[in-house]
Structure 1
């Protein structure tokens, strides 16, 4: 009789344990899932490649462009286009020829095109070679129009260290005639400080800055060319 009671006393905790095991297991799984979600959060990055043109060549060209006897053209900067696959917030990389991939948990805060346009406006404004530099607006009328396209922007892991390659095309069009008066393609390659998305972002910002610097020079040259072509003759000046 006593033996049976003892057996029952020991059987009760065992039964409870069997009932609790699934709950404990699900709790552990839930915690694991929670922490894995915390560690798998997506990181976001932005372009900060602000142009800072300071060279003697730039200053000389700027002085030539803003001579008092010259009329400064106005410029509208349209939204950059992007080649297939590059009009996305996802960050692209390559590990083998002809194969492009995206980082799983690293993205840009906006598409390259949207982030680049205000930087382009700022870069051209700094040259002081235009009477006005504005983003595209429905009612805006300007002398010239800057159109552009992102041809490539990716981190290349086929080399060590990895590098970012940014290929960008700029086209300036005379709005009065609809003709292209200047076109240039920029191809910048910058080594990454580390072979990961963070190193790629740092290299991307440097590549963007270098392109913006060269875009500024390109726009100065274009303004000078346009003004020479539209220089007033003595008769025209007298009529004014």
Structure 2
């Protein structure tokens, strides 16, 4: 015996199952978060008669590099972002404690502070990330890291020196994680150069002060 509504019910059920499938969220791979954890250069002992102090002020980032997005390029002038990979924090936020550790290990500063602080230090260092991105236009891909530094004498409120650090490190693999490893290497090398820059400038400034009448 045939039931007149059987075919109709089957059709309705099939439509319901199709609708449920359409509403079910697609399987999306979780977003991976990465950190900048570059190892600071080797430490030098601070002399007992050290008097120089420094404050690490602002660590800014140029437009596009002020978020936790991980950026890359496949052709000149076109910047893209990884969809399934990101920085755990904006690079500027992760860079600040790394720079502080590098300055503390320099052996020239009695005290290293991070802004904001009401304590008046001898010097102030302000930084700006100009670029941090992986470039796939060549193989192996390269991570380009540029950092600008301004060192100020807080006693006379003048910038005594500035420098732009630029370094490129080849990635070990053609993916976001290869870029993360290269980024940490690039940051480590720039930290070493930045520390040497601060030591040289502070030493020269101290010697110039001694020559003043």
TM-score above 0.5, yes or no: yes
Q: Distance in 1 between matches of 2:207 and 2:47?
A: 12
Aligned pairs for 1:125-144 within 5 A: 125-144=104-123
Which digits, 9 at most, give the CA deviation of each residue in 1:181-211, with x for residues without a partner? 2222211111111111111111111111111
Gaps of 5+ in 1: 1-5, 55-61
Q: Distance in 2 between matches of 1:98 and 1:30?
A: 39
The aligned residue for residue 149 of structure 1 is: 128
Q: Secondary structure at the match of 1:79?
A: strand
Aligned pairs for 1:77-92 within 5 A: 77-92=56-71
Larger Rg belongs to = 1
Q: Offset of 1:129 from its aligned partner?
A: 1.0
Q: Secondary structure at the match of 2:198?
A: helix
Which digits, 9 at most, give the CA deviation of each residue in 1:71-114, with x for residues without a partner? 43000001212122211211111111111112223211111111
Aligned pairs for 1:7-156 within 5 A: 8-9=2-3, 11-31=4-24, 33=25, 35-36=26-27, 39-53=28-42, 66=46, 70-156=49-135
CA change 1:149–1:95 in 2 (3 A) is same
Q: Offset of 1:12 from its aligned partner?
A: 4.6
Q: Distance in 2 between matches of 1:50 and 1:180?
A: 28
CA change 1:67–1:135 in 2 (3 A) is closer
Q: Secondary structure at the match of 1:166?
A: strand
Relative to the length of structure 1, the TM-score reads 0.80
Relative to the length of structure 2, the TM-score reads 0.90
Larger helix share, 1 or 2: 1
161, 165, 181: which is aligned to 2:160? Answer: 181
Q: Secondary structure at the match of 2:65?
A: coil
Moved over 4 A (4+): none
Q: Secondary structure at the match of 1:231?
A: helix
170, 173, 195: which is aligned to 2:149? Answer: 170
**C-alpha contact 1:53 1:213 (8 A) present in aligned 2:** no
Gaps of 5+ in 2: none
Q: Distance in 1 between matches of 2:122 and 2:67?
A: 31
Larger strand share, 1 or 2: 2
**C-alpha contact 1:127 1:220 (8 A) present in aligned 2:** yes
Q: Would you say how many aligned residue pairs link Structure 1 and Structure 2? A: 213
